[in-house]
Every structure is written in C-alpha cells, then in structure tokens.
Structure 1
Amino acid sequence: MVTLPNTPPLPGGIALSHLSPYDWQAADGVCGGSPHLHLVCTEAYVVTGGTGSVQTLSPDGYRELPLQAGTVAWFTPGTVHRMVQGEDLRITVLMQNSGLPEAGDAVFTFPSDYLDDPDRYAAAATLPPLDSPDIEAAARKRRDLAVEGYLTLRESLRAGDPAPYRAFQEAAARLVAPKAAAWRGIWERGALAAAQQTGTQLDALATGTAGDYLATATALSTDPLRLGGYGMCGRRDEYQLPSG
C-alpha cells in the first residue's frame, strides 16, 4: 500500500471492499450472507461478475433484486439486506461515510432477545481472528442466527404486518445509540470534510487562487490489506483506506 502524508480519502469519503457471497446453505435453502441493516450509511453494490440477488426488507415490503455483471444496486439506512449467491457472484461494495460500518453502524437481524442485551449481541456478532481454526464455524453460526431473525421479519412483512420489522429497526437504533458521538467525529473528518473541501476549491476558482490547491495534485493507488476475510455478506477483500 502507498502511504503518503495527508493522503486524501476516496471521493466523498467512501469505503470500498470486494465481496463474494457465502455459498453456505441456510435454513430456507438459500446460499448467501448474513442479513443486516445500516443505521446511517447507504450501501451500493457494483456487480463485476456472476449472478445472484439481494433480498431487502423495507417499508416497501419484501423485494428481491436480481444481480448480474453491470448491475448497480443500493439501499438506504434502515433497509435490511441479504446478499444471495447465484453463480460466482462478485461485487465491489461502496459504503457511505468511510469507517462507520466498521465502527458498528451495521446490525444483524438476530432474534429480538439478542438485540435487547448489548453484551449478548456483541458476543454473537464478534468473530475470532482470521487465523483461528474456528472462524468459519463461527461465521456460519453468526449467519444462521441472523437468518433466523430475518425469516421472522420477512414472513411478517409478507403477511402485511410491518410491526416486527419496525421493532427491529428501533431495537437496532437503541443498540448503537451510545456510539453516535464517536461516529460524528468519523463523519466530520471524512465525508463532511470532503464536501467542505469542494466548497473551498470552488471559492478558490471564483477568486482566481485555484493554483494553491492544484499545486498539490497527485495520484495514488493501493492493494487489498486483507484477502478473504469473513464479512457480513461473504468473503471480503479489505482495503486500508484513509478516512480523513
């Protein structure tokens, strides 16, 4: 990885990773990832190969969006999503607000008794180190627990009852609320700072002083920091990217 002083973040302060959904079969016969939602981040899938789908739960109800090479799908905060493996599905994930997902912005659809107990939730959501011989079994167990809660929410929505889904959203918000102050700092240093920098550049263009920031122009590149990690949706290639 190239490391430079004051390395700028990716455009808009986004985060990026590469994913291939798990091919483990769940209780409903579907192969795929761990259903979850994000509290303040919009997530986008850019499909680079293969086929599959993403299942979502939202006020729109239950939907299944087909995915194939060239598809771009995205979902806003509060949307439960489950990535489904078809055949060799490969996705580049773009995530709003740089490091917030890694700071706890994502909440699994575990059964409600886990959401009401922060310690129990954390124990079920946390995986052992990547080099642990138990990590795959732990990731499967976590995925299956999330699917268990997800199927209950999905069936209620299909039956016309949104109350369990809304209750899950509210429980997820309560679970992460203590982290909101720390998240604000990540957002201020990342996405907000990137937007404010554009404003500064526009001011410089208008006043004829653009040369000051154009003089710092550069090009950057990086490679994955870790290959094949066990993410929420599947095996994940991760990058160590500046977030501001």
Structure 2
Amino acid sequence: MTHLPGGVGLSELRVYDWPAPDGVCGGSPHMHLVCSEAYVVVEGSGSVQTLTWSGYAETPLEPGAVVSFSPGTIHRLVNGDGRLRIVVVMQNSGLPEAGDAVFTFPPHVLASGELYGRAAAGGDEEAVLRRRDLALAGFFALRDDPSGLAAFHEAAGRIVSGKLDEFEKRWSAGARAMAEATGEQLAALRRGELSHLREAAVGGTVPHDRLGMCGHLRAHQS
C-alpha cells in the first residue's frame, strides 16, 4: 500500500459554482472532529467562512494562499469568481470518508440517525445541492446565534460515536504507523544502523473523481 507523507489525504478540488440560497456559490458547511485540514489555493478567488468557539470569520482565498484549521472548525468554501481551485491536504487520510465530517444540518435532523443518514447521502448533483442547502440552513442559524454550538458539538459526537473503532483502525494503519516508523528509524540511526535506506521505493496513487462536500474532487488517498 502506498502512503502519502505522514498518512495525509491529498485532493484537487474545484469548488462548486452553484448559487446557494444566500446568492453565494460554494459547498456544504461541515466540521471534522479529529482531522486538521489545509487549503493551498491554485487558481481563482473566494473565501472560507469559519465558525468556532471564538466566533465567525471569513478568510480570503487567492492564488498562493495557504489556510489551515483544526478539528472543531465549521467551514464553508465560497467560490468568489467561479474559478476557485485548491489543493486540499487532510490529516488522517480516509477518516473524513469514514465519517469524520458532520454537516451543520438543523437540530431535528442531527437528532435522528435515520434523518441524518438520508440527508448526508451524496449521489448526483441534485442530491448534493439538497444536502448543501440543508447544511446551510443549520449553518446560518449557528452563525446568527452561536449559543447553539455546544449542542451541535454534542450532536456531532453522537453521530460519530459508532464509528470510532473504524477511525482508530484507519489512524493506526496510516498516520500512527508512519510516525512510529520515523521513531524506529531515528533509533536505528542512533545505533548507526542504516538498513532502512535500502528499502527506499517510489510510489504513487490513483486519483478518484467524485462530487464532494465542497466541490468536484479528484482525491489521492494514502
């Protein structure tokens, strides 16, 4: 199995240029519970709207910009000029796809596993649009009244609670294993052992195209 450095996930993203109810083009607001994320802007312009315990913010995105955020950051990508294209670096490759991404749906949807599962399902463009607009309804409510953040965090924790074994399995096989390998290599170097250098290899990944949360994705996973 080929691993990207550090067990990260890497994706090329063309942010949706579909207008939302507020007239802004972009993707579905959501939050990761254990994964940090970074954007490297390649083309176009726009912004990322974020909501954390510290409040709401909007960070401009221009070519060459690098923006990163930690778990617990609700984020919404905005395609300002219709051409926004970024490279996404995601901690713990595979975890977001396994469920470490919770949409900001309204409370009644978050409270029901069945309703949440149906609303979160992707598919064709029509389904992705419905999902985005429902997530925006919850996002706007949280932005206007951040006192609901604690309840959203609790709901997100409940939603992922049944997936934690799978999260740990993927983390152990990816990022954790690679960090431990570095520790073993450092220990070997201290002993003057260089045998791991003979195991050097060149690898690659096969990209997978799909409709993502924020745009058209070409994902390279470890």
Alignment match of 1:193 (pick from 177, 185, 200): 177
Query: Secondary structure in 1 aligned to 2:170?
Result: helix
Q: How many Å separate the matches in 1 of 2:207 and 2:98? A: 19
Shift of 1:221: 2.8
- Asked if 1:236 corresponds to 2:217, the answer is yes
Consecutive aligned runs of 4 or more in structure 1 exceeding 6 Å deviation: none
* Aligned residue number for residue 140 of structure 2: 151
- Asked if 1:62 corresponds to 2:56, the answer is yes
- Which digits, 9 at most, give the CA deviation of each residue in 1:176-207, with x for residues without a partner? 11111221111111111110000010011111
* Aligned residue number for residue 219 of structure 1: 202
Task: For structure 2, list consecutive stretches of 5 or more residues without a partner in the other structure.
Answer: none
* Aligned residue number for residue 40 of structure 2: 46
Query: Secondary structure in 1 aligned to 2:14?
Result: strand
- Asked if 1:12 corresponds to 2:1, the answer is no
* Aligned residue number for residue 162 of structure 2: 178
Q: Counterpart amino acid of 1:231?
A: G
Alignment match of 2:28 (pick from 27, 34, 51): 34
Query: Secondary structure in 2 aligned to 1:97?
Result: coil
Q: Counterpart amino acid of 2:213?
A: M
* Aligned residue number for residue 159 of structure 1: none
Deviates more, 1:18-27 or 1:106-115: 18-27
- Asked if 1:91 corresponds to 2:86, the answer is yes
Task: Using the aligned pairs only, state the percent identity.
Answer: 52
Q: How many Å separate the matches in 2 of 1:222 and 1:185? A: 21
Q: How many Å separate the matches in 2 of 1:236 and 1:92? A: 10
Q: How many Å separate the matches in 2 of 1:31 and 1:165? A: 24
Per the normalisation by structure 1, the TM-score is 0.88
Q: How many Å separate the matches in 2 of 1:18 and 1:178? A: 30
Task: For structure 1, list consecutive stretches of 5 or more residues without a partner in the other structure.
Answer: 1-6, 129-134, 157-161
Q: Counterpart amino acid of 2:159?
A: L
How many residues end up aligned between the 2 structures? 221
